[in-house]
Amino acid sequence: MQEKKRKTAKHTSEAHRTREEIKKDYRKKKATVVFAIALVYLVIVAAAAVIIDDRHVEISLRGDEDLLAEVGHELVDPGAEAYLNGNLFGRSRNEIPVRVEGKPDMDKIGDYLVVYRADFANKGAECSRMVHVRDTTPPEITLKHEDGYLANWLVGYTEEGYTAIDNVDGDITDCVVRTEVDDKVFYSVTDSSGNEAKAERQIEYSLSEPMIKLIGGEEVEIGACLRYEDPGYEAIDGSGNDLTSYVQVTGNVVPYQVGRYQLNYSITNEQGETATAQRIVDIVPQPYIKTVIPEEKTIYLTFDDGPSEYTDRLLDVLARYDAKATFFVTGFQPEYFDCIGRAYREGHAIGVHSQTHEYEICYANDQAFFDDFLWMEDLIYSQTGSYTKLFRFPGGSSNTVSRMYSPGIISRLAKYMTDMGYVYFDWSVDSGDALGGAKTSYAVANNVTAGCSEETVSVVLQHDTKGFSVNAVESILRWGKNHGYTFKALDETSYTAHHPIAN
């Protein structure tokens, strides 16, 4: 019943609507339909326009397609630009963002591809360029210089130093090619990329030739001796540089042989130029030593071939009798060398005999003799603090065995040694303890006393290497003292008792 009443009420309401209201609703619905139709039309027109315009993304490179870049430098990339473009509306004013893919390693030479991309509304485009990273920078050569340095006459130019540094290869100093021409030095170097660098140095010279100054003069006179010592020299150039160590000395002086010799002093530079000086050396005989024959009865006891195990005992006996003797020493028993010093300190004379006492060695030639002699001189000096001028030839000056090794050597040596101020001694009395057949102290003492009794001055030959000969000395000393003899040591003025030279 109520439902019936509602329907009746609705119908009554619609019946009361006016015609204007109905028309208004109709116009409203019509406008809606027209708008919908227009919208559809616009959509259709817009879609048609898009299809006809063919709107798309266009991208292009700024700059060249191939780009050359310097290794080690920052890349300046001109990049790319992108826009929308179409058939109807043309290119848009606003750029589209561009993405860059691929980054060149600017610290490494190579070819790198760089890609540029741009996207819009599911549409995109791309382009690319090749970046060529290259090394076109040449190395740098730096020349070092020492303040005040001047190339000199002697050694020319001495390189002051240089370095070569490359931006890629680093230190390539070892690769530098150096060429010196006249007064210039040229340097060149090429890096691994083929880039070349060059440098040039102008050499400044101090060309003053050194003067060689001869100390002692250009001519010197020297007494004959075993060792020649040059008076000296010095070489200074015009800049004050001391070049003495560069002097070469040529020529030969035979210091024991009287004569006139020339020595040449020279400095040669690297250019082959030479500065020279000459010296004349005159070797002259040492002053003549006059022999003094003592007025009193004198015996010179001399002992060869020691020192030995018997020498100390012999020195004790000589000391008790306040007698002096002479020892012609050798160098083949080092354990008794200290006896040389003792004998010297106790007032006895020391003379050279021989280092080896082997004839085939000391008489092989002149120089062999001097080598042997000098060795003994040095030994004596080491024990006594002084050199001696006394010596006795091994075998005496009259020996003939030396002929087997060097004919005429004794004659030559006797002159050389005398010219040098040395005095050689033979003997006037032979104890017989070596080659004379004496084998006992009695025989030795008898030979000596018998020989000395016939002379006012005697030089006695004994050997302190023979125990029985040393044992005979006390008897000889007692006999000599009882018969008014004085026992002295030899010196340069003593009676020499020379034998006739047989070689």
**Mean pLDDT of the region 171-182:** 94
Say yes or no to pLDDT of 106 above 80: yes
pLDDT digits (tens, 9 = 90+) for 179-191: 999 889 999 999 9
**Percentage above 90 pLDDT, the chain:** 76
pLDDT tier for residue 375 given thresholds of 50, 70 and 90 = very high
DSSP string, 434-465: SSS---SHHHHHHHHHHHHTT-SEEEEEEETT
Please tell me the predicted confidence (pLDDT) of residue 282.
97
pLDDT for residue 235: 93
- Report the pLDDT value the prediction gives residue 232, as an integer from 0 to 100: 95
Q: At 61, is the secondary structure helix, strand, or coil? A: strand
pLDDT of residue 44: 60
pLDDT at 122: 85
On the question of pLDDT at 217 being above 70, the answer is yes
Q: Which of 271, 120, 255, 403 is nearest to 263 (CA)?
A: 255
Relative orientation angle of helices 338-345 and 311-320, to the nearest 10 degrees: 10
pLDDT on residue 239: 75
The tens digit of pLDDT for each residue in 113-158 reads 999 999 988 889 999 999 999 999 999 999 999 888 888 788 788 8
Q: What is the 3-state secondary structure (H, E, C) of 121-138?
A: CCEEEEEEEEEEEECCCC
CATH of domain 211-284: 2.60.40.10
- Model pLDDT for residues 323-360, shown as the tens digit of each residue: 999 999 999 999 999 999 999 999 999 999 999 999 99
In sequence order, the 6+-apart residues with CB closer than 8 A to the CB of 160 are: 143, 144, 145, 146, 149
Taking CA atoms, 139 is separated from 71, 74, 107, 176, 209, in Å, by: 13, 19, 16, 11, 40
Tell me the average pLDDT of the chain.
91
Tokens of 404: 């087997």
CA distance 198 to 179: 11
Distances (CA, A) of 182 to 10, 185, 201: 131, 8, 11
Mean pLDDT, residues 284-290 taken together: 93
Which tokens is 164 given?
A: 């070569």
The β-bridge partners of 11 are: none
The burial class, CB within 10 Å (0-12 / 13-18 / 19+), for 477 is buried
Q: Where in the chain are the domains? A: 56-134, 140-206, 211-284, 298-487
Average pLDDT over residues 215-239: 92
Does domain 298-487 bear CATH number 3.20.20.370?
A: yes
Domain 56-134 and domain 211-284, same fold? Reply is yes
Rounded to whole angstroms, the Cα distance separating 307 from 179 reads 69
Nearest to 201 by CA among 149, 240, 143: 143
Angle at 295 between CA 294 and CA 296, to 5 degrees: 95
The pLDDT > 70 percentage for the chain reads 93
- Rounded CA-CA distance 470/318 in Å is 10
Angle at the Cα of 108 (from 104 to 109), degrees rounded to 5? 90
CATH assignment of 140-206, among 2.60.40, 2.30.30, 1.20.120, 2.40.160:
2.60.40
**Distance, CA of 472 to CA of 241 (rounded, Å):** 69
Angstrom distance (rounded) from CA 486 to CA 477: 9
More confident residue, 386 or 271: 386
Residue 147, C-beta contacts closer than 8 angstroms, at least 6 positions apart: none
pLDDT, position 133: 95
Least confident of 29-33, 264-268, 313-317: 29-33
CATH homologous superfamily, domain 56-134:
Immunoglobulins (2.60.40.10)
- Left, alpha or beta for 396 (phi > 0: left; psi -120 to 50: alpha)? left
Considering the entire predicted model, what is its pTM? 0.63
4-59 pLDDT, tens digit per residue, is: 555 555 554 554 567 777 777 777 777 777 676 767 666 565 555 556 667 889 99
